Amino acid sequence: MSDILGPDQTDTALDGTAFSHLGDVLLGSYSTQDFAASVRLLDAVAVLADELNHHPDVRVGYGTIEFELSSHDVDGVTQRDVDLALRIQQVADDQGAESE
């Protein structure tokens, strides 16, 4: 079983990313050029989420995309979520998405 992490354990790792530790989830929001750019970011994240076998909840809108990460098996944030958040940030940076 994975250990549940608190904000005091994730804040340093998430510094400089779009992600914040809020309650039992990591939440990250990005602005993109348009709806198609949001979907392209989602497509790239879907590939890495499948690779990691850890999948975010996602909201996509015109020029916005929001990722919510949580380890449902333990009802909280684990290192898997932090790792995925950092990978999402790399992809977002590569695609020119801006942290909100």
Name the H helices within 33-78: 35-52
Please name the residues in contact with 61: beta carbons below 8 A apart, sequence gap of 6 or more.
Answer: 35, 38
pTM of this prediction? Answer: 0.96
With a cut of 60, say whether residue 1 has pLDDT above it: no
Average pLDDT value for the chain = 96
- Give the residue-averaged pLDDT of 72-85: 96
Burial of 72 (0-12, 13-18, 19+ CB in 10 A): exposed
pLDDT at 49: 96
Confidence of residue 95 (pLDDT cuts 50, 70, 90): very high
pLDDT at 2: 76
Residue 52 CA to residue 76 CA, distance in Å, equals 17
Residue 80 CA to residue 54 CA, distance in Å, equals 7
pLDDT tens readout for residues 13-41: 999 999 999 999 999 999 999 999 999 99
Confidence of residue 77 (pLDDT cuts 50, 70, 90): very high
Crossing angle for the helix pair 79-95 and 35-52, to the nearest 10 degrees? 140
